[in-house]
Amino acid sequence: MSTTTTLSFFATACLGLATFQGNAARDAEASVDALAKDVAALQKVVDSQAKDLADAKNLAEKGAKYAAEQAKAAGAMLETLDASEKAGFTFGINPDSRVVLLRGWREALNAAQREVPALPPAPPASKTTAQVR
């Protein structure tokens, strides 16, 4: 092989290698850009889900508080019915209907106090919050 051919081959190989490396760098940059866009999109999803979770927790807390207040009111109403019965509510015209009324009312109030949902204890707060930006 002549020197000119060897140098031409070597120059062509170097040019091809430089082109390949340039393409690889551009591909790596494009890949990094695509990943950055994916991370940004996923961060938006996480932020949206975090807001939805906070809203759901707030609603659950309100529901649990409401249920507890209803159970407390049902207990107070049971005491009122007992006091009413002791004061003579069941006596008078057709006392059996009043006894039935009190029994049904008590059953409803007792049911309102059973299995009242309560929120689980809150987990300890995280000391670090990982955010990808």
* pLDDT, the chain, mean: 82
User: Could you tell me the pTM of the whole model?
Assistant: 0.56
Question: What pLDDT, on the 0 to 100 scale, is given for residue 133?
Answer: 46
Q: Which amino acid type is present at position 4?
A: T
The three-class DSSP label of residue 109 is: helix
pLDDT of residue 104: 92
Q: pLDDT per residue over 54-105, tens digit each?
A: 999 999 989 989 998 999 999 999 999 898 888 888 777 888 888 888 899 9
Quote the CA–CA distance of 64 and 116 in Å, as a whole number: 8
What is the spatial distance between Cα 39 and Cα 131, in angstroms, rounded to a whole number?
Answer: 10
Give the pLDDT score at 45. 93
Q: What tokens does 120 get?
A: 């689980």
Using the predicted structure, report yes or no on whether residue 30 has a pLDDT greater than 90. no
Determine contact, residues 132/41, Cβ cutoff 8 Å: no
Give residue-wise pLDDT tens across range 121-130.
877 876 555 5
Nearest Cα to 34, choosing from 44, 26, 23?
26
